[in-house]
Amino acid sequence: MIVANWKMNGSKEEVDSWLRFVSSNLSPNIDNLCIFCPPSCYLDYSSSLIKEISSPVQLGSQNINFSGNSALTGGISSQMLKDLSAEHVLIGHSEQRQYFNEDNDSLKSKITDALTKDISPIFCIGEPQEIKTDNRTKDYLCRQLEILESFDSNLITIAYEPIWAIGSGENADNSYIEEVHSHIKEFCCRELNFKEKVSVVYGGSVKLENCEEILSSSEVDGLLIGGASLDPDTFSKIYNLS
């Protein structure tokens, strides 16, 4: 799975040219999904264009709000995402956790809600720099993972995004990524009773120059890409190398 997370970037024109370029330059592989997460206001346009040009790209939302709270100005429910043909949704991205004070309870409600409409959650976890420095990364991630206990491992993808690596230009090095991904998988099997090994993708300063090395580990099941996904040529190349 290779995911483009545009965050709050782009315009309708850029969405149009990106989707057209990527769709005609990908060497699609059904075992390796290519997912586009544009800003919410472009989901409708993206969804129509994906259908119109029979694009192999699948649509993901950058957020979802818990449908139980209907009085939420600006909110987006799972039904709304379903109507827009979004098949995936990012949940728990560190930027959402930080700016919207998302806690474990609200994240669990979001996952439950997405799954009721067959939208696949990509659950983001990751530690800040001070936790890494204190050597407390593994415990910190376990606390974030605990909310997945009652869910089916086949339906959820985990994105490991160390906060210090996001947008910094400094990706985590391979041995660190490998150790953390392996810890996440083991924890999910041992403590959460996941029947299948969960997929874990990496995010944080992924670029064309480092993508092959990161993906060379058998513990890495894909990439979640911010800045480098904005350029359709770079993104297509990363996908084709994966």
d(CA 143, CA 139): 6
Q: Which residue is nearest to ligand 13P (CB)?
A: 226
- Token pair, residue 160, equals 């490991």
178 vs 203, which CB is nearer to ligand 13P?
203
CA-wise closest residue to 221 among 136, 154, 146, 142? 154
70-79 residues labelled b (16+ CB within 10 A) or e (exposed)? eeeeeebbbe
d(CA 131, CA 41): 35
Q: How far is the CB of 229 from ligand 13P (least distance, A)?
A: 7
Q: Tell me which residues touch ligand 13P (CB under 6 A).
A: 5, 93, 161, 166-167, 203-206, 224-228
76 vs 122, which CB is nearer to ligand 13P?
122
Q: How far is the CB of 37 from ligand 13P (least distance, A)?
A: 8
- Token pair, residue 102, equals 């998302």
Give the chain's length.
242
Q: How far is the CB of 181 from ligand 13P (least distance, A)?
A: 16
9 vs 193, which CB is nearer to ligand 13P?
9
78 vs 205, which CB is nearer to ligand 13P?
205
DSSP annotation of 222: -
Place of tokens 């994906």: 50
d(CA 31, CA 42): 26
- Token pair, residue 10, equals 């782009």
Q: What is the CA radius of gyration of the chain?
A: 17
Q: How far is the CB of 235 from ligand 13P (least distance, A)?
A: 11
d(CA 162, CA 187): 18
- Token pair, residue 26, equals 């990908």
Q: How far is the CB of 51 from ligand 13P (least distance, A)?
A: 25
Residues with active-site annotation: 93, 161
93 vs 183, which CB is nearer to ligand 13P?
93
